[in-house]
A and B are shown apart, each in its own frame.
Chain A
Amino acid sequence: MPNIDGGHYFLTALLPIETTPFVASDGVSRLPVQMVREALFRMPTAKQSEETKDSKDNSPFASNLRTHFARLVVIDDCVDNGRNPENALAAALKDHNPLAAQPVDQLNAPYLLFSADFDADPGGLNSYLEELYATVGDELRKPFRHCVGFDEVKDPKSFRRYVKRCQIETTMPFNDYWIDDPKLPSLSIMAVLAPIVLAALAALGSAVAWLSGCGGWPWGWIALAATAATLLLILGAYRVVLWLGSRPFPAAPHSDLKSILKALYLQPRFLRFAIDMQGKDDAAIHAAFRSFVDEYQPDKVDSPTQSPGVISS
Chain B
Amino acid sequence: MKRELELADIQGIVINGYARGGFPKARHLFLHVADPLAGRRFITQIFSSVTTSVRWSQDPPADGAGVASGSATARPKVTLNVGFTLYGLHALGVPVNTLRLMPTEFIEGMAARSKLLGDVGDSAPDRWDRIWQENEGDRAVHIWITLNAQMQADGSPVPELEQKTAWLRELCAESKGGVTILSGHAPAGGDYQEASAVLARGADGQMRATPNEHFCFHDGIGNPVFEGQLKGKEEQSDVIGGGKLLPDGSWRPLATGEFLLGYADEAQEVPPAPAPVEFSRNCTFMVYRKLHENVASFRSYIDKAAALYQAHCGIPSRDEARETIMAKMVGRWSNGVPLMVAPTFQEAQEFLERYKKAEKGADKAAYAALLRRFNDFKYRDDPDGIRCPMTSHVRRTNTRDMLDPESDPKKRTGSSLNDRRRILRRGLPYGEAPPGDPSVRDDGDHGIIFIAFCASLFRQFEFVQQQWIQYGLDFNAGNDTCPVSGQHGPDAKFVIPVDPESGQAPFICSGIPQFVTTRGGAYFFVPSITALRMIAMGVIDPT
Which A residues are within 8 Å of any B CB, using their own CB? 50, 271-272, 274-275, 278-279
| Of A50, A272, A274, A278, most B-chain CB atoms within 10 Å | A278
A272: nearest residue on chain B (CB-CB)? Answer: B491
Kindly state whether residue B508 has any CB partner on chain A within 8 Å.
yes
In the bound complex, how far is the Cα of B314 from the Cα of A279, in angstroms? 10
Interface residue tally of chain B, by bracket? Answer: 10 to 19
Contacts of A272 in B (CB 8 A): 491
- B305-337 residues with Cβ-Cβ distance < 8 A to A are 308, 311-312
Report yes or no: B508 in contact with A279, Cβ–Cβ below 8 A.
Answer: no
**Top 6 A-B residue pairs of the complex, sorted by shortest distance between their CB atoms:** A275-B510, A279-B311, A275-B508, A279-B312, A278-B312, A279-B308
CB distance from B486 to the nearest CB of A (A): 16
- Whether the Cβ atoms of B312 and A274 lie closer than 8 Å is no
The residue of chain A having its C-beta at the shortest distance from the C-beta of B491 within the complex is: A272
- Which DSSP category, helix, strand, loop or mixed, fits chain A's interface? helix
**A278 contact from B115, B308, B491, Cβ within 8 A:** B308
In the assembled complex, which residues on chain A have CB atoms less than 8 Å from the CB atom of B311?
279
Q: How far is the CA of A270 from the CA of B508 in the complex (A)?
A: 13
Q: Give 13 new A-B contacts, CB below 8 A, not counting A271-B508, A278-B308, A278-B508.
A: A50-B115, A271-B493, A272-B491, A274-B508, A275-B493, A275-B508, A275-B510, A278-B312, A278-B505, A278-B507, A279-B308, A279-B311, A279-B312
Closest to B307 in A: A279
Q: Which residues of A contact B493 (CB under 8 A)?
A: 271, 275
Residue among B311, B507, B508 with the highest chain A CB neighbour number at 10 A: B508
User: 16 A-B contacts, Cβ less than 8 Å apart?
Assistant: A50-B115, A271-B493, A271-B508, A272-B491, A274-B508, A275-B493, A275-B508, A275-B510, A278-B308, A278-B312, A278-B505, A278-B507, A278-B508, A279-B308, A279-B311, A279-B312
Output the least CB separation between A264 and chain B (Å).
11
* Cβ–Cβ < 8 Å partners of A275 in chain B: 493, 508, 510
Q: How far is the CA of A279 from the CA of B312 in the complex (A)?
A: 5
> Please, which residues of chain A bring their CB within 8 A of the CB of B308?
278-279
Give the residues from 495 to 518 in chain B that come closer than 8 angstroms, CB to CB, to chain A: 505, 507-508, 510
Give the chain B neighbours of A271 by CB distance below 8 A: 493, 508
Whole-angstrom CA separation of A304 from B381 in the bound complex: 42
Measured between beta carbons, the chain A residues less than 8 angstroms from B115 are: 50
Q: Complex: how many Å from CA A278 to CA B309?
A: 9
**For B505, what are the chain A residues with a Cβ–Cβ distance below 8 Å?**
278
Q: Which residue of B lies closest to A267 (CB)?
A: B478
How many A-B contacts if CB must be within 8 Å?
16
Instruction: Report A164 CB to chain B, min CB distance, Å.
Output: 37
When C-beta atoms are compared, the residue in chain A nearest to B511 turns out to be A275
Bound: A274/B312 CA distance, A: 12
Contacts of A279 in B (CB 8 A): 308, 311-312
Docked complex Cα distance between A274 and B491 (Å): 14
Q: Which B residue's beta carbon lies closest to that of A274?
A: B508
How many whole Å from B392's CB to the nearest CB in chain A? Answer: 19
**B312 proximity list for chain A (CB < 8 A):** 278-279
Residues of chain A within 8 A (CB-CB) of B507 are 278
What's the nearest-Cβ distance from chain A to residue B408, in Å? Answer: 16
Specify which chain B residues have a CB less than 8 angstroms from the CB of A50 in the assembled complex. Answer: 115
| Complex: A272 Cα to B115 Cα, angstroms | 27
Complex Cα spacing A241 to B493, Å? 49
- Shortest beta-carbon distance, B97 to chain A, in Å? 27
**Least Cβ distance of A43 to chain B in Å?**
24
Closest to B115 in A: A50
State the CA gap A272–B508 with chains docked (Å): 10
| Complex alpha-carbon distance, A155 and B345, angstroms | 70
Residues of A within 8 A of B510 (CB): 275
CA–CA, A275 to B305, complex, Å? Answer: 12
Chain B neighbourhood of A278, CB < 8 A: 308, 312, 505, 507-508
Report the minimal beta-carbon distance from A72 to chain B, rounded to whole angstroms. 26
**Shortest beta-carbon distance from A38 to chain B in Å:** 27
CB neighbors of A among B289-318 (8 A): 308, 311-312
Which residues on B sit within 8 Å (CB–CB) of A274? Answer: 508
CA distance A279 to B505 in the complex (A): 10
**What is the minimal beta-carbon distance from B513 to any residue of chain A, in angstroms?**
15
Give the residues in chain A near B491, CB-CB below 8 Å.
272
Shortest CB-to-CB span from A51 to chain B, Å, is: 9
Q: For residue B493, which residue of chain A has the nearest CB? A: A275
Q: What 1/0 flags go to B45-66 for Cβ under 8 Å of A? A: 0000000000000000000000
User: Which A-chain residue is minimally distant from B509 (CB atoms)?
Assistant: A275
Interface centre among A50, A272, A274, A275 (most CB of B within 10 A): A275
B116–chain A nearest beta-carbon distance, Å = 11
- Which residues of A have CB within 8 Å of B508? 271, 274-275, 278
- Complex-state Cα separation, A271 to B492, whole angstroms: 12
CA distance A50 to B505 in the complex (A): 33
CA distance A278 to B493 in the complex (A): 13
CA distance A278 to B505 in the complex (A): 9
A265 to chain B, nearest CB (A): 15
Closest to B120 in A: A50
Give, as a whole number of angstroms, the nearest-CB distance from B175 to chain A. Answer: 44
Bound-complex Cα distance A271 to B493 (A): 10
CB distance from B473 to the nearest CB of A (A): 13
Distance (whole angstroms) from the CB of B204 to the closest CB of chain A: 47
Q: Bound complex: CA of A120 vs CA of B298, how far in Å? A: 51
Q: Give chain B nearest CB distance to A166 CB in angstroms.
A: 35
Give the docked Cα–Cα distance between A279 and B305 (Å).
Answer: 11
A34 to chain B, nearest CB (A): 29
- Complex: chain B residue closest to A268, CB-CB: B491
Roughly how many angstroms separate A271 CA and B312 CA in the complex, as a whole number? Answer: 16
User: Within the complex, what minimum Cβ distance (angstroms) separates B328 from chain A?
Assistant: 15
